[in-house]
Structure 1
Amino acid sequence: MEQENEQLRHAVDSHATVDQAIGVLTAIHQLAPAAGFEVLREVSQHTNTKLHTVAETVIGWALGQPLPELLGRELEAAVRRRSRERDVPDAEAG
């Protein structure tokens, strides 16, 4: 039971960290929250880094800490991809 409680606490903390990092990306790069999550997910996959670790790094960056080079490159690339998607007119709206 104690181990389950610890796992649940870790999951809640991890989720909160991811939500905060999405907020950072939303504010800085003017992305929709869903796009912010996709950016984090892509960076995680492309750098073979756990999602919550990417999120912690993004939060640290917002607080003035430097981004590791690889993570910074992947973050820029993922944001560019999501920004282009936002700028392309939706076929249904046309």
Structure 2
Amino acid sequence: MDFAATPDTPPPDPAPAADREVRRLETEVAQLHEAVASHAVVDQAIGVVVALAKTTPADGFQVLREISQHTNVKLRAVAGHLIAWTQGRPLPPDVAQALDAVLRRVTPHPPEADPPGDTE
């Protein structure tokens, strides 16, 4: 005789588990949307640094990381400040100072011009 399932005991309701799974998936989707948007801003800021420093995208990302670390500002926030700066808004002073310092260090110096009178 099977005592585990009696005719008086209804089967467990699957709705609470399904509701939890839906909430978990909604949270995951929201986090993925945020990550994609953040990644786009960081990529744009890398482009700004590449244009300013005439460097590689990998080095541009390193510049953003250094600014973030030296200012204790999240990387995506630093990226947002740089994008806003390209649109005419001022950089926060600490970010501006860190950007200036890092760019001075990583920007290649322009080659010296040929001596005057050397036409060959």
Q: Normalised by the shorter chain, which TM-score bucket?
A: 0.7 to 0.9
What residue in structure 2 maps to residue 26 of structure 1?
50
**4+ runs of 1 displaced by more than 2 Å?**
none
Does 2:14 align with 1:3?
A: no
- Give the Å deviation of 1:59: 0.4
**Structure with the larger helix share:** 1
What residue in structure 2 maps to residue 60 of structure 1?
84
- Give the Å deviation of 1:53: 0.2
Query: Is there any run of 5+ residues in structure 2 with no aligned partner, and where?
Result: 1-24, 110-120
Contact 2:53–2:106 under 8 Å retained in 1: no
- The correspondence of residues 9-88 of structure 1 with structure 2, limited to 5 A, is 9-83=33-107, 86=108
Distance 2:60 2:97 in 1: 16
- The higher-RCO structure (CA 8 Å, 6+ apart) is 1
Structure whose CA Rg is larger = 2
- Give the Å deviation of 1:29: 2.6
- Give the Å deviation of 1:28: 2.5
Q: How many residue pairs align between the two structures?
A: 85
Question: Greater shift after overlay, 17-26 or 27-36?
Answer: 27-36
Task: Give the counterpart letter for 1:13 in structure 2.
Answer: A
Structure 1 length as normaliser, TM-score? 0.84
Task: Give the counterpart letter for 2:89 in structure 1.
Answer: Q
SS in 1 for 2:39: helix
Structure 2 length as normaliser, TM-score? 0.67
